[in-house]
Amino acid sequence: MSWHPQYRSSKFRHVYGKAASKEKCYDCVPITRNVHDNHFCAVNPHFIAVVTECAGGGAFLVIPIHQTGKLDPHYPKICGHKGNVLDIKWNPFNDFVIASCSEDATVKIWDIPKHLLTRNITSPKKELLGHVRRVGLIEWHPTANNILFSSGYDYKIMIWNLDTKEAVISNPVKILDAHKDVVLSMSFNTDGSLLATACRDRKIRLIDPRAGTVLQEASYKSHRVNKVLFLGNVKKLFSTGTSRWNNRQIALWDQNDLSVPLLEEDLDGSSGLLFPFYDSDTHMLYVVGKGDGNIRYYEISPEKPYLNYLMEYRSHLPQKGIGMMPKRGLEVSACEIFRFYKLIPTKSLIEPISMIVPRRSESYQEDIYPLTTGAQPALTAQEWLNGVNKGPLLVSLRPGSGAVNASPQFLEPEPLMKTTDLSQQQGRGGRILLEDMQKPSEIEDSRKQLKVEEKLPKNEQIRLSNGFDIFECPPPKTENELLQMFYRQQEEIRRLREVVNQRDVQIKQLELELRNLCMDAGRY
């Protein structure tokens, strides 16, 4: 008999959740009281959007990600819907475009201005009219640009091509009519060639979205599914739901065989929904409970037992909804591998929760940050509709690699990697290599960036800071405008600090080069 150790060797065994301090939370946010089972929150590296309470229609807030603290009660809203907003999603390839769907049976696409909002936005960039009943779910395609999926209470999933000049689009490019009840959840595989859905008829369906055909169907009586998630890079599906005895339950399925789940596990007897999130870079799976304050997290493995429980983040504050920051918005210097934004309506609070791998070193940890999905689309909308499949374009999260931003308008440089102390480098003896500090391509990129900045006139550098012209707005006249100017100056100070850090790194690099030259000269 072979001996198996009681523990697994994993670099994520000790991951822990860390709630943000009060100053870094978003306070006085009027979070929606809608009982629809959705996240009600969408996050990207520039903004956090949250569905809010609004009289006479539906609205949501878009708050700059660094504007923490108390929110002005008169803060502008995006309020063009005639019914309650049920779902919001940021465009994965443009941080200034967001989609929303509502009980008024419409889907609207909004352009968010680069500067802070000063008045309510009521006119969308595009309006999608096709559903005859309320629209409960929207999902952007993961690799193709401007392809949006919407699902309504008319039991239809519609595919929209937004690469048109029309402001009002009435004809979707495809209608998937494979469901006999309301679709509760949609999820794509890695390249977006397959769509998994969970339906109120308790079935999981695997669909080819372009052909409109159902490839597989799971009808497992002891698992009533609510949410389904594609674990694309391990060829599996994960679902949350309830058992016959109304216990909250999770299940894992083989993508190629949905007849019986690979694994089925009851969690507890609570009644709230379970929201699953998957990080394909670390193979970690997070299960967030609605109505409680818990976040369970697991590690997925290709062999049995498939699902390895790691830990549980516990809080006494229940969450109504949850948002997730894309990987390119994480703080890699703190070894942060995931970040949630927890909606707490009882306190009108949005609380960021960081999942952190405990490491002592402050240098970039290559092993926990593999290449990840970037902010550029792999395909155009027409290419995908023509049948082309392509995986996401991958980028490095290493500071200074410069491939993490989804907005070409923003000119903010990314902070470079913190260098180790020169005395520690000397202690190793011998020649000090620049490759120990950074890759040559990154050094060249940072030098070019600094040269471009030096060539700009000083007034141009100031005006272009933070991606917008600071002279385009008149001096502040009200308290709200003054607060907005204050946040804008905070952003400017942060950018200038990053520039100073870059120059410090460049000085240390030149010192290393000079020391190497002196050592070479001493040998000869």
Coil vs helix vs strand at 165: coil
The pLDDT assigned to 102 comes to: 94
pLDDT tens string 248-261: 999 999 999 998 99
What pLDDT, on the 0 to 100 scale, is given for residue 209?
95
Which of 5-19, 122-136, 507-521 has the weakest average pLDDT? 5-19
For the record, the structure tokens of 186 come out as 């949609």
Task: Calculate mean pLDDT across residues 464-479.
Answer: 50
Confidence of residue 402 (pLDDT cuts 50, 70, 90): low
Q: Which is more confident, 476 or 510? A: 510
Name the residue among 353, 375, 438 with its Cα closest to residue 401: 438
Q: Is the pLDDT of residue 415 over 80?
A: no
Q: Are 196 and 186 in contact, with CB atoms under 8 Å apart?
A: yes
pLDDT for residue 480: 67
Contacts 24+ apart (CB under 8 A), 210-217: 210/174, 210/384, 210/385, 210/387, 212/174, 212/175, 212/176, 212/177, 212/178, 213/178, 214/178, 216/256, 216/257, 216/258, 217/258
pLDDT bin (cut points 50, 70, 90) of residue 404 is: low
What are the tens digits of pLDDT across the range 98-117? 999 999 999 999 999 988 78
pLDDT digits (tens, 9 = 90+) for 262-280: 999 999 888 889 999 999 9
- What domains are defined for the chain? 16-395 (2.130.10.10)
CA distance 356 to 336: 4
Model pLDDT, residue 219? 80
pLDDT of 291? 87
- The predicted model gives 211-227 an average pLDDT of 90
Token pair 């193709």 is at which residue? 144
pLDDT tens digit sequence for 69-109: 999 999 999 998 999 999 999 999 999 999 999 999 999 99
Kindly indicate the confidence band of residue 476, based on its pLDDT and cuts at 50, 70 and 90.
low
| Rounded distance between C-alpha atoms, residue 349 and residue 269, angstroms | 27
pLDDT bucket at 501, cuts 50 / 70 / 90: confident
State pTM to two decimals.
0.76
Burial group, residue 214, by CB count within 10 angstroms (0-12, 13-18, 19+)? middle
pLDDT at 475: 63
Please, what is the average pLDDT of the chain? 84
As given in the structure block, the two tokens for residue 466 are: 């933070």
Q: What is the mean pLDDT of residues 145-169?
A: 95
Higher-confidence residue: 271 or 61?
61
Q: What is the pLDDT of residue 477?
A: 62
Cβ contacts of 83 within 8 Å, gap of 6 or more: 57, 58, 102, 103, 104, 105, 134
The predicted-structure confidence for 280-302, as pLDDT tens digits, reads as follows: 999 999 999 998 899 999 999 98
Determine the Cα–Cα distance for residues 89 and 105; give it in Å rounded to an integer: 16
Those residues with Cβ within 8 angstroms of residue 124's Cβ, 6 or more apart along the chain or in another chain: 80, 108, 109, 110
pLDDT at 39: 93
Q: Provide the pLDDT for residue 485.
A: 78
CA atoms within 13 A on the CB side of 29: 29
